[in-house]
Amino acid sequence: MITAAILASLSLASPAPAAAPLAPVPAVLEVHYSNTHLQLRSLTGEPLLVIFSSASSGLETVFWLSPGGQYDEEFPRGTLFGLDLEVVQDSQLGWITSGAIAFDPKSFGVTDSLWVQPCGHSVMQSGSGGPAFGLAPGQSHLPAELGVLGPDEAHATSGGGHAEPAFHVPALTPTNKPKGDHPPRLRKKPLPPV
């Protein structure tokens, strides 16, 4: 509901420019995740509308990710299970969605990185720099009345077939934060006198 209002107001504010052929689309969002941590990083110079939704409960969270912006969140184990990630981007053709990308519990521990492309494919990489493979997103949760193009429609309209996975996969940026939901390490300190 909130998503529909945001996209409807934006589409009224600015008319869509004429369609022009597009080159293969690079990744627009880098996602690193684990059972207890989620990091999103925008790889584009345009703002992205990020939507987390749950088909079972019907709840959704919508927020803007600024160009080059980052979102970093830690949460209790299993919070991502059953959630779908969808990214909406403005383009020459109008609004394009990546389609719904499910966080599957079976993929945790096998994959830890995802690069979202709004052209019918996303690239998922296995943990510790293993091989990358394509991931086809599911149906978008956005209402059809908004006129948002799906990933396959957008690429077909631009005159291309399915996009190939990106040749260059960005490297994970190390952080000083501890991973997982382990308790903090205790240092050996003498106890205070009683």
Q: What is the pLDDT along the chain (194 residues), one digit of tens a residue?
A: 555 555 555 444 444 433 333 445 577 888 888 778 889 999 888 888 888 888 777 788 888 899 999 999 888 887 878 888 888 887 776 777 777 887 765 655 555 777 787 665 555 554 555 555 556 666 666 656 565 655 555 444 444 444 444 445 555 565 666 566 566 677 787 878 88
CA distances from 32 to 63, 72, 79, 107 (A): 18, 9, 15, 12
pLDDT at site 120: 53
pLDDT computed for residue 32 by the predictor: 84
Write out the two tokens for 96.
């394009």
Report the chain's C-alpha Rg in angstroms.
19
Q: Where are the alpha helices (DSSP H) in the chain?
A: 2-13, 151-157
Residue 41 confidence (pLDDT):
93
